[in-house]
Amino acid sequence: MAQRPSSFAKPFIPDVTRLFEFRNGTMSPAFANNGSMDSRTLSYENSDLNDITRRQMMEDINAYRYDLDFCRTQLNAPELLTPQESRTLQIRVLDCSHNIRHCQHRIELIDAQARNAARNAAQAAALSYKPMQQHRASTGTPVSMGNFKRQRVVKATDSDEDEAADSIMDLDDSGTSSVQRLGFWKCRLCTSQKYLDAGANRVPSMPCKWPLKDVSKMLNHFLEMHVEHTPEERCGELGDALARNRGPFEYWLMRTRKQELDDTSIIDGFISTLQSGVLPDILRGLNRAASAFPNSIAGVKR
């Protein structure tokens, strides 16, 4: 067995205060005599787990670097070490280096997650709505009359407005981008084989005889009914309906629901999301049927 050199200096006693960071640079009373933390005294002003983890990773890096410096200092005096001690210190140098690299990688992941969260928050803010400050006039917002020829001499009823919308919409079902209350859509799910094979308990019980004209009715029809179809199919049909009725959809958002759009191109994003089979979360707060979607039974949230 190798003998320790007679000139071996006094053993180096590690300074544990280098392994713990304190704001005042002294050992906290919360630590016991052996340097361990009393768990009852732990408290964090910041409850963000990412921030806590990142700070702890930095503390670990500082501790590993101190350990690494200690090992290298000992290795710089090989005449004071036995071969076994030298080998142990060399392995410890590698171990500390690996741990430092691991902590650095964890910090990079945390920082990347924080940047992604900030980017997602900015995107969500772009889709947010502000309550409109202007109230609708008591007589209502004028509707674009387009090629409507008949002159109104009395207050229009709902049936009159429906007739007016029929005359406004193109008969070839090409859709409209005019910002008006009523649109036009013939439900294709009501004529699908899935619906016809659904039996007596299907909803609606009979195919729609009349086209869907009001955007609220379109939302309720596809998000609350036709549960024989998958949620993706219902969202896709609703997206196609709103794509053909972009103007009425914008009217419903800005005037009926009194929402102010920072950018009207957001509407195209909603429609694209629906056509991909996904319901935009913002619609859940604006429509009762959307808040309960998806549902397996009409009117009941799954």
* The pLDDT of residue 159: 45
| Cα-to-chain-centroid distance, residue 171 | 40
pLDDT value of position 207: 86
For residue 183, is pLDDT > 80? yes
3-state secondary structure the chain: CCCCCCCCCCCCCCCHHHCCCCCCCCCCCCECCCCCECHHHCCCCCCCHHHHHHHHHHHHHHHHHHHHHHHHHHHCCHHHCCHHHHHHHHHHHHHHHHHHHHHHHHHHHHHHHHHHHHHHHHHHHHCCCEECCCCCCCCCCCCCCCCCCCCCCCCCCHHHHHHHHHHHCCCCCCCECCCCCEEEECCCHHHCHHHHCCCCCCCCCCCCCCCEEEHHHHHHHHHHCCCCCCHHHHHHHHHHHHHHEHHHHHHHHHHHCCEECCCCCHHHHHHHHHHCCCCCHHHHCCCHHHHCCCCCECCECC
Average pLDDT, the chain: 75
- With a CB cutoff of 8 Å and minimum separation 6, the contacts of 222 are 187, 189, 234, 235, 237, 238, 241
Phi, psi (deg, nearest 5) at residue 116: -65, -40
pTM (whole model) above 0.85: no
**Which pLDDT value is given to residue 200?**
77
Confidence of residue 20 (pLDDT cuts 50, 70, 90): low
Give the Å distances, CA to CA, from 288 to 76, 199, 256, 266: 74, 26, 14, 21
Residue 144 has pLDDT above 70, yes or no: no
Let me know how many helices (H) and strands (E) the chain has, helices first.
Answer: 10, 4
Per-residue model confidence as pLDDT tens digits over 253-293: 888 888 887 778 888 888 999 999 999 888 888 888 888 88
Q: Is pLDDT at 209 greater than 70 in this prediction?
A: yes
Summarize pLDDT for 71-128 with one digit per residue, the tens: 999 999 888 889 999 999 999 999 999 999 999 999 999 898 888 888 877 777 666 6
With contact defined as beta carbons under 8 Å apart, do 267 and 257 qualify?
A: no
* pLDDT value at residue 298: 56
Digit-coded pLDDT (tens) for 29-87 = 444 444 445 444 455 555 678 888 988 999 999 999 999 999 999 999 888 889 999 99
Q: What is the pLDDT of residue 12?
A: 61
Predicted pLDDT of residue 6: 44
